[in-house]
Amino acid sequence: MDSEIQYISYKLFADPVQVNGYLLYAPDSKEALVIDPGGEPDRIMKDLQIHGLKLKYILLTHGHFDHIGGAAELREATGARICMSPLDAQFITDSRWNAADFVHRPPVPVFPLEIPLKDHDALYLGTQAVRILATPGHTPGGISACIPGHLFCGDTILKGELGRSDLPGADVPQSKVSIRKKIFTLPGDTVIHCGHGEETSVAYEKKNNRILCQEQKGRTFAMEKIYRILCINPGSTSTKLAVFHNQIKLDESNLEHSAEVIHRYPDIVSQLPMRKEAIYSYLEQQGIKPEEIDVIAARGCPAGRVYHAGAYRIDRDMADACLKPENAVHAMCLAPVIAYEWVKDFGIPAYNYDVVMVDEMKEVARITGLPTIKRNASCHVLNTKAVAREVAEGMGRSYDQVNLIMCHLGGGCSVSMHEHGRITDAVSNGEGTFSPSRAGTFANNALIKLCFSGIYTEKSLKDLFANSCGLAAHLGTNDCREAERRIEEGDEKARQVYEALAYNIAKDIGTMAVTTGGNVDAVVLTGGIAHSRMLTGMVEELVRFIAPVIIRPGAIEMEALAAGVLRVLRGKEKAYTFAEPF
């Protein structure tokens, strides 16, 4: 496991005031991030050189001059990308909004906003995440950065106080909401690094913050109940775990299981003791006892049937079904079994949410040329629904008010039509484009010939289609970064194959567009490969005539699990039971 993120604190002179800046870095990867370089960028450059660091990001908690003044110079010197909330974008060029006029100083050097940040985003230094919390109030786009045990909050909180409220865009009631719902849900010993003055802590501010404590005298505030949520997401060669306080992620780990370990087990079910032990070891390392968990969110369900969108309560019926060999087709099926043991032993409720086999497809889309075969909308339901909700919110609308084409780009690719809150059709993984390691679809005759060639068994052909096709077959690598490196070096074959990948993704997007007669509000590219500017640029060039293209790289599956279960706990959604008929 990589070493934890380290940080260096600065008192920077941002004429005519002093501001706290912070340089965060991962010792192993040597990647760094600077928070609020309001002035004296040469000091930060010197430390980058001393420690042999590469500055990857410039993170601005908000848009006031004393927090952004050195950003342009640092960007020019290092090539680092500037990250902040788009809600504060106008602060960059407007001296009234960024308060430079307020202190009669020259305008700050202008710079581009390259990475717009929102709540629950993450910036990675090596494999270590810096989590983003939206904490508006001091400014409309105020954000905070969180690493285990530490919060860098800009001017949202100053020790014992709130950030000043006499500047354009300030909203004191909103500041209080941000503090109570975001910052005060963190553990009490979390160190708060402020934009000015001394550091403080969550526990200290709860007890001593002058503004908040005065407000509470003589009356009791109904504080939001805090649930500690454990999310479990087993993959083929790893088990992803995350702990949330409500929607605030406190920790996330990816417990890897080597090929040597996986090959010891003849089937998925026999991996159960190994996976359980890995989870219990993780919790022990985190100092968390199983009985201290309030609820479990497990990604996985038995195969062999379809499900409603939303939550299912994990009970004995579901756990028993997961253990049947015909249903245990993926390691995800073990998550409900592990969760149900805690239901029995500790009385902890457990749920899954937006499982892979959610079926909302319209009937006309199911029909194929062979009556015994019907299509289904199997796709990356959990991530695409969660991202779709965020995109709709960004449009000022609800999920059930928009039509979005959601394109998940990862080890497997799927494209789905989210029509007024339902996935009404999809080009599922294996039905459309090839991907870094998967085959995609073929002409019937070619597939039949391959099946009866005598070269493959059913199992070996499935393994070939899932693990050794796509980029891996054409280029000998399933790593898009390697493919792009070759293209930049002039490799014509790599360029052709990569263009074909983008071309096929675009065709699948076009297929979904016709299902609503072209009534599409946006095309959204998400998943791990959406980090690639080259690939997303190729796709966007081909499909932007359909609708605006929005790029939301990465996956928020753990966040989606926690948020979905939280909606159930708060009574906003009903949970189904496994025994209920579809």
Show the 3-state SS of 261-277: HHCCCCCCHHHHHHHHH
pLDDT at 3 over 70: no
pLDDT in tens, 154-170: 999 999 889 888 788 88
pLDDT computed for residue 172 by the predictor: 85
Q: Calculate what percentage of the chain has a pLDDT beyond 90.
A: 60
pLDDT computed for residue 215 by the predictor: 57
SS in 3 state form for 112-150? CCCEECCCCCEEEECCEEEEEEECCCCCCCCEEEEECCE
pLDDT band for position 218 (50/70/90)? very low
Domains by residue range for the chain, with CATH: 6-216 (3.60.15.10), 228-356+559-577 (3.30.420.40), 363-547 (3.30.420.40)
Beta bridge partners of 244: 229, 249
Which residues, at least 6 apart from 169, have a Cβ–Cβ distance to it below 8 Å?
97, 139, 140
**Angle between helix 480-488 and helix 533-543 axes, rounded to 10 deg:** 80
**Mean pLDDT of all residues in 2-18:** 85
At 106 the three-state DSSP class reads coil
Please provide the DSSP assignment of 184-234 as one string: GGS-TTPEEEESSS--EEHHHHHHH-HHHHHHHTTS---PPPP-EEEEEEE
SS in 3 state form for 27-74? CCCCEEEEECCCCCHHHHHHHHHHCCCEEEEEECCCCCHHHHCCHHHH
pLDDT in tens, 42-71: 999 999 999 999 999 999 999 999 999 999
pLDDT at 220 over 50: no
Query: What rounded mean pLDDT belongs to the chain?
Result: 90
pLDDT computed for residue 466 by the predictor: 83
pLDDT at 221 over 50: no
pLDDT at 404 over 90: yes
Helix, strand, coil content of the chain in percent (nearest 5) = 35, 25, 40
**Mean pLDDT of all residues in 197-217:** 81
User: How does strand 31-35 pair with strand 54-59?
Assistant: parallel
Residues 35, 278: Cα–Cα separation, whole Å: 35
Count Cα atoms within 13 angstroms, Cβ side, for 187.
15
Model confidence, pTM? 0.65
Establish whether the linkage from the previous residue to 16 is cis, with ω within 30° of 0.
Answer: yes
pLDDT computed for residue 523 by the predictor: 95
Residues 207, 163: Cα–Cα separation, whole Å: 17
Residues 146, 138: Cα–Cα separation, whole Å: 18
Cβ(440)–Cβ(430) below 8 Å: yes
pLDDT in tens, 438-488: 999 989 999 999 999 999 998 899 889 888 899 999 999 988 999 999 999
